[in-house]
Amino acid sequence: MNRDNRSSGTVAIRLGALGDMIMFLPVLHAMHQRFQCKIDVVTAGPWSPFVLSHSPYVGRVEALDTTKRWAGLLSRRQRQVVAWLKADPPKRTYLFEQSRKADHLLQRAGIDRHYVVHAADRPSQPNEHQTDYHRRLLGAEHDHTVPQLDHRRLDIDEARQWLRTIGATGSKLVLLQPGNKRTMRPGRLDRASNHKHWPTERWSSLAAAVADSDPQIKVLICGVPAEQALAQDIAQRSCSDRVLAVADQLPLPRLFALSTLADAMISVDTGPAHVAAAAGCPLVVMFGQTNPDCFAPRGVAQVEIVDAGGSGLTTLPVAAIMAAFENLSPRRENNET
């Protein structure tokens, strides 16, 4: 996404996952406030240009190919980014990464390390939220902006039309997000490395309990196409015709738009939870080994955290999640589907 081929003179490098890039939106606001210019961003992943389109403070976006390994020889896409940085060297470079990938990129571009504000030089503080840490790198600790999606950039009509095709028009929508990036990797879902795993039978019990709490509710099991089998398993075990598996029908633009229409979300600590918070969708988020003080979703919605206190999510009972769900207040705006 190149809004303007001319450099703004200020470059931010953030090679984050979906949730990381949502949390980065307020940092771009703070950079704009400080330097009074649009911020060029070097990022990674197919999700990042779409996320960054929700910031009016972004200039040029260069997204690296995450499918390519970083070796001695750069990929074609990486060479293009290096050529751009060389041709129009930035006046200010902020590296919001402690990453050899990003260091390698800057080295190839000939950007002197002494002229880079580098996250490695200023470590985060205990229990410091990621957004606050990045703002501190800027000297913008007093900026309290939260992520917020620009609804004008969302195709709400397309999402409503899709809801009609699945028979969810006029329903109260509750989104369940059981998967995370580790879910898509080979192996058992309950392997030790998948520390955000919550047992499938608990998801199905939760889905059934949410559907039973209000006859107008439809529960949509979300995710990506690789997680559709998990979503179908949850839906089938719930024994409710108001629990629908739609993980294979949610391209990113539709997920964003759906989050502005939904009445609530229940999720593990993963990217779509951050999308929901920024979209104003009240949500419950389960945290296990990850510290919610550092990574809890922020936005314009109510967020209820259910924290396992550093242990795995398997210690969390369905009753605790349901209690948090029942504590959610209705979202403020009227989002009739």
What DSSP string runs through 79-122? HHHHHHHHHS--SEEEE----HHHHHHHHHHT--GGGEEEGGGS
Clarify whether residues 182 and 278 are in a common domain. Answer: yes
pLDDT reading at 181 higher than 80: no
Average pLDDT, integer, range 133-158: 92
- Is 85 inside a domain boundary? yes
Clarify whether residues 208 and 300 are in a common domain. Answer: yes
- Is 55 inside a domain boundary? yes
CA 234 to mean position of chain CA atoms: 23
Question: What was the pLDDT predicted at 312?
Answer: 86
Most confident of the ranges 94-108, 116-130, 211-225: 211-225
Question: What was the pLDDT predicted at 62?
Answer: 93
Clarify whether residues 126 and 160 are in a common domain. Answer: no
Clarify whether residues 249 and 286 are in a common domain. Answer: yes
Clarify whether residues 251 and 294 are in a common domain. Answer: yes
Clarify whether residues 128 and 173 are in a common domain. Answer: no
How far apart, in whole angstroms, are the C-alpha atoms of residue 300 and residue 96? 24
Query: What range does the domain containing 163 cover?
Result: 152-326
The CA-based dihedral angle spanning residues 117, 146, 295, 115, taken in that order and rounded to the nearest 10 degrees: 0
pLDDT reading at 83 higher than 90: yes
pLDDT in tens, 207-232: 999 999 999 999 999 999 999 999 99
Q: What band does 255 get if pLDDT is binned at 50, 70 and 90?
A: very high
Q: Which tokens belong to 53? A: 């389109």
How far apart, in whole angstroms, are the C-alpha atoms of residue 28 and residue 53? 12
Clarify whether residues 189 and 127 are in a common domain. Answer: no
Q: Are 25 and 18 in contact (CB under 8 A)?
A: no
- Is 46 inside a domain boundary? yes
> What percent of the chain has pLDDT above 70?
89
**b vs e for 216-225, b when ≥16 Cβ sit within 10 Å of the residue's Cβ?**
ebbbbbbbbe
Average pLDDT, integer, range 59-68: 81
- Is 3 inside a domain boundary? no
Q: Tell me what the pLDDT averaged over the chain comes to.
A: 90
Clarify whether residues 119 and 229 are in a common domain. Answer: no
Average pLDDT, integer, range 297-323: 95
Task: Domain count for the chain, please give it.
Answer: 2
pLDDT reading at 69 higher than 60: no
Clarify whether residues 183 and 51 are in a common domain. Answer: no
pLDDT reading at 122 higher than 80: yes
Domain boundary among 87, 110, 138: 138
- H helical segments located in the chain: 18-35, 48-52, 76-87, 100-109, 130-138, 156-165, 200-212, 228-238, 252-261, 271-279, 292-295, 318-326
The CA-based dihedral angle spanning residues 62, 40, 146, 274, taken in that order and rounded to the nearest 10 degrees: 10
CA angle 164, 255, 155 (to 5 degrees): 65
Q: What band does 334 get if pLDDT is binned at 50, 70 and 90?
A: very low
Clarify whether residues 70 and 205 are in a common domain. Answer: no
> What's the CATH code of the domain at 245?
3.40.50.2000
Among 43-47, 283-287, 302-306, where is mean pLDDT lowest?
Answer: 43-47
Average pLDDT, integer, range 98-120: 88
pLDDT in tens, 182-214: 565 555 655 455 568 899 999 999 999 999 999
pLDDT in tens, 130-139: 999 999 999 9
Of 321, 23, 335, 290, nearest in space to 176 by CA: 321
- Is 334 inside a domain boundary? no
Average pLDDT, integer, range 26-37: 95
How far apart, in whole angstroms, are the C-alpha atoms of residue 20 and residue 98? 14
pTM, two decimal places = 0.92
Domain boundary among 114, 138, 162: 138
- Is 131 inside a domain boundary? yes
Question: What was the pLDDT predicted at 165?
Answer: 98
Question: What was the pLDDT predicted at 4?
Answer: 52
Question: What was the pLDDT predicted at 65?
Answer: 79
pLDDT reading at 310 higher than 70: yes
- Is 333 inside a domain boundary? no
Domain boundary among 95, 112, 138: 138
Question: What was the pLDDT predicted at 193?
Answer: 52
Of 253, 240, 237, 251, nearest in space to 174 by CA: 240
Residue type at 317 in one-letter notation: P
Residue type at 329 in one-letter notation: S
Clarify whether residues 192 and 260 are in a common domain. Answer: yes
Clarify whether residues 101 and 175 are in a common domain. Answer: no
